[in-house]
Amino acid sequence: MTKLGIMASQISGHLIDPNAYIAFSMLSTNSVQVYIWNNGTGFGSKFADPSGTQSRTSVGIRPDKKVIAVGGATPSIQAYPWSQSGFGTIYSAPATAYTTQAYGLNWTSTGNDIGMAIDGSPYGVIYAWSSGFGSKYADPATLPQSSGRMISFTPSNNAVAVSGDGASPWVSAYPFTSGTGWGTKYANPSPGLSEGGRGNEWNPAGNVIALSEGANSPYISAYAWSSGFGSKYANPATLPAENGISVAWNNLGTDVFSANYNVSPYVAAYAWSSGFGSKYSNPATAVSNTTYDVSFAA
């Protein structure tokens, strides 16, 4: 993954339902921005920004749509109450805090735990959540590969994956139990990613995991999943324009999305039915700069 400091206004997006909304975080002023999203038509009106202008590189929406968490550095993670009126007053910081850049955030489907992928050791961090940040879970016995870039959970919350671009295998997956924590690392996917694990997310059924890849084609990949990595799906016929950095599914599992950097349009969307389908047309109003994160919460 290209290091964060060399890009002036990279953004990340996280879509939340219902209504629905899409939120972006940026390495610039007004670092968290939220828009209404209209399924089938696209972007709607924009909400007022939260107070403060600290730059952010990731965003994660709690499944009940009542909290928006954002990641960056110093601190790595912050969280705001969210309602249809917009942002509330920021929550207190976690007791075990980090100042390493957080590139990816995700919640369990119950909203009882939140994970972040960070650039430094231990590369993946998970906190309990109950009306605010709770305790940090103990690190796994085998840490993910270096330079954490994204973390996600299965819909049933029984596994967690951390992508990283510091070293092969580029993605590490583990059993996970809320209240207990990380399990023993699963075997690596085969064939593996070409280079640079940037993003990961399971489909709503939990039987496919999509992965974004860095500098090398195909930039997005998908594998069957059943208590570990299965066979790799064929690549999409029309690849994303450039380096993959994050992936997401819609709440039905019928569409899969890719966030990309360096080359416009910075995002790509595909139909999905037992594999990649046709690529959707690009948005009429283009995303203005490199995207860092895109994800849905139904």
Cα-flanking dihedrals φ and ψ of residue 159, to 5°?
A: -155, 155
Looking only at the bridges linking them, the beta strands covering 276-279 and 267-272 are: antiparallel
pLDDT of residue 250 exceeding 50: yes
Q: Which of 26-35, 61-70, 152-161 has the highest mean pLDDT?
A: 152-161
pLDDT of 234 reads 97
Is 200 in a helix, a strand, or coil? strand
Contact 46, 21 (CB under 8 A): no
pTM over 0.95: no
Rounded to an integer, the average pLDDT of 250-262 is 83
| Number of residues that make up the chain | 298
Instruction: Tell me which of 290 and 232 has the higher pLDDT.
Output: 232
Contact 283, 267 (CB under 8 A): yes
Looking only at the bridges linking them, the beta strands covering 171-177 and 181-182 are: antiparallel
> Which residue segments constitute the domains of the chain, with CATH numbers given?
4-297 (2.130.10.10)
Q: Which of 8-12, 30-34, 41-45, 253-257 has the highest mean pLDDT?
A: 253-257
Contact 208, 224 (CB under 8 A): yes
Closest CA to 212 of 202, 227, 224, 222: 222
* Token output for 75: 């601190």
pLDDT of 205 reads 96
Q: How far apart are CA 3 and CA 221, in angstroms?
A: 22
Q: Distances in Å between the alpha carbon of 221 and those of 36, 65, 139?
A: 29, 28, 27
pLDDT of residue 255 exceeding 80: yes
Cα-flanking dihedrals φ and ψ of residue 107, to 5°?
A: -105, 155
pLDDT of 41 reads 61
Burial of 255 (0-12, 13-18, 19+ CB in 10 A): middle
pLDDT of 65 reads 87
Rounded to an integer, the average pLDDT of 31-50 is 72
Instruction: Tell me which of 296 and 209 has the higher pLDDT.
Output: 209
Rounded to an integer, the average pLDDT of 195-223 is 90
- 214: which residues sit within 8 A by CB, 6+ positions away? 1, 165, 195, 196, 197, 198, 243, 244, 245
Q: Distances in Å between the alpha carbon of 88 and those of 15, 29, 91, 131?
A: 18, 19, 9, 13
